[in-house]
Amino acid sequence: MNFDLTPDQAALRERARRFASEELAPVAEEYDQREEFPHEQFCRAAQLGFFGLSVPREYGGLGADTVSYALVIEELSRAMPAFGVPVSVHNSLVCYPIAKLGTPEQRQRYLPRLATGELLGGFSLTEPESGSDASAMQTLARKVDGGWIIDGHKTFVSMGATAGIFLVMAVTDPDAKRSRSISAFLIERGVPGFSSGQRVSKMGMRATDTTELLFREVYVPDANLLGNRGDGFKVALSSLDSGRIGIGAQALGIAQAALDTSAAYALSRKQFGEPIIKFQAVQFKLSDMATEIEAARLLLMEAAALKDAGQPMTTQAAMAKLMASQAAVRAADSAVQIHGGYGYLKGNTAERLYRDAKVTEIYEGTSEIQRIVIAESLIAEPATYPLPAFDVSAPVSG
| Whether the Cβ atoms of residue 120 and residue 159 lie closer than 8 Å to each other | yes
Contact status: 233 vs ligand CAA (CB under 6 A): yes
162 makes contact with ligand CAA (CB under 6 A): no
**327-366: which residues touch ligand CAA (CB under 6 A)?**
363-365
Residue 96 found at the interface with ligand CAA (CB under 6 A): no
Q: How far is the CB of 157 from ligand CAA (least distance, A)?
A: 6
Report the nearest approach of ligand CAA to the CB of residue 72 (Å): 17
Answer for which of 218, 328, 329, 369 binds ligand CAA (CB under 6 A) is 369
Is 314 an interacting residue with respect to ligand CAA (CB under 6 A)?
yes
DSSP SS3 for 281:
helix
Which residue in 126, 139, 242, 261 binds ligand CAA (CB under 6 A)?
A: 126
Please report the DSSP string for 148-210 in residue order: EEEEEEEEEEETTTT-SEEEEEEES-TTS-GGGSEEEEEEETTSTTEEE-PPPP-SS-TTS-E
> Interface with ligand CAA by CB under 6 A: which range of 235-243, 271-279, 283-291, 337-345?
235-243
* Binders in 8-67 for ligand CAA, by CB under 6 A: none
DSSP 396: P
Segment 57-86, which members bind ligand CAA (CB under 6 A)? 85
Angle, vertex CA 367, rays to CA 114 and CA 206, nearest 5: 50
Is residue 127 within the footprint of ligand CAA (CB under 6 A)?
Answer: no
Q: Tell the smallest beta-carbon distance from residue 232 to ligand CAA (Å).
A: 10
Task: Select the residue interacting with ligand CAA from 41, 91, 139, 158 (CB under 6 A).
Answer: 158
Nearer to ligand CAA, 38 or 86 (CB): 86
The total of other beta-carbon atoms located within 10 Å of residue 357's CB is 28
Can you tell me the distance from the alpha carbon of 105 to that of 335, in angstroms, rounded to the nearest whole number?
49
By CB under 6 A, the count of residues binding ligand CAA is 23
Reduced to 3 states (helix: H, G, I; strand: E, B; else coil), residue 366 is coil
Closer to ligand CAA by Cβ: residue 9 or 155: 155
Stretch binding ligand CAA (CB under 6 A), from 26-34, 54-62, 129-137, 248-256: 129-137
Query: C-beta of 136: minimal distance to ligand CAA in Å?
Result: 8
- Of 59 and 215, nearer to ligand CAA (C-beta) is 215
Q: Which of residues 82 and 85 has its CB atom nearest to ligand CAA in the complex? A: 85
Q: What sections of the chain are H helices per DSSP?
A: 7-19, 28-34, 39-47, 66-79, 81-88, 96-101, 104-116, 232-268, 280-308, 314-339, 349-358, 367-380
DSSP per residue, 21-76: IIIIGGGHHHHHHHT---HHHHHHHHHTTGGGTTS-GGGTS----HHHHHHHHHHH
> Of these, 19, 37, 69, 123, which contacts ligand CAA (CB under 6 A)?
123
d(CA 18, CA 120): 23
Cα 216 → chain centroid: 28
Question: Could you say which of 68, 77, 92, 135 contacts ligand CAA (CB under 6 A)?
Answer: 135
What residues have CB less than 8 Å from 4, skipping those under 6 apart?
none
Asked if 249 contacts 77 with a C-beta cutoff of 8 angstroms, the reply is yes
The span from the CA of 59 to the CA of 110, in Å, is: 9
According to CB under 6 A, which one of 43, 176, 345, 372 is a site residue for ligand CAA?
372
Residue 364 falls in the annotated catalytic set: yes
Nearest Cα to Cα of residue 55 among 73, 69, 67: 69
Tell me which of 98, 134, 220, 226 binds ligand CAA, using CB under 6 A.
Answer: 134
Phi first, then psi, for residue 85 (nearest 5°) are -65, -55
Q: For the window 236-275, what string marks contact with ligand CAA as x by the rule CB under 6 A?
A: -xx-xx----------------------------------
CB 186 within 8 A of CB 176: no
Which amino acid appears at position 40 of this protein? E
Q: Which of 364, 368, 376, 381 is catalytic?
A: 364
Cβ 76 vs Cβ 84: under 8 Å: yes
- Judged by CB under 6 A, the residue of 73, 115, 119, 125 near ligand CAA is 125
Per CB under 6 A, 234 contacts ligand CAA: yes
Q: How far apart are CA 72 and CA 20, in angstroms?
A: 9
For residue 370, state whether it binds ligand CAA (rule: CB under 6 A).
no
**Catalytically annotated residues:** 364
Binding site for ligand CAA (CB under 6 A): 85, 89, 123, 125-126, 132, 134-135, 158, 179, 233-234, 237-238, 240-241, 314, 363-365, 369, 372-373
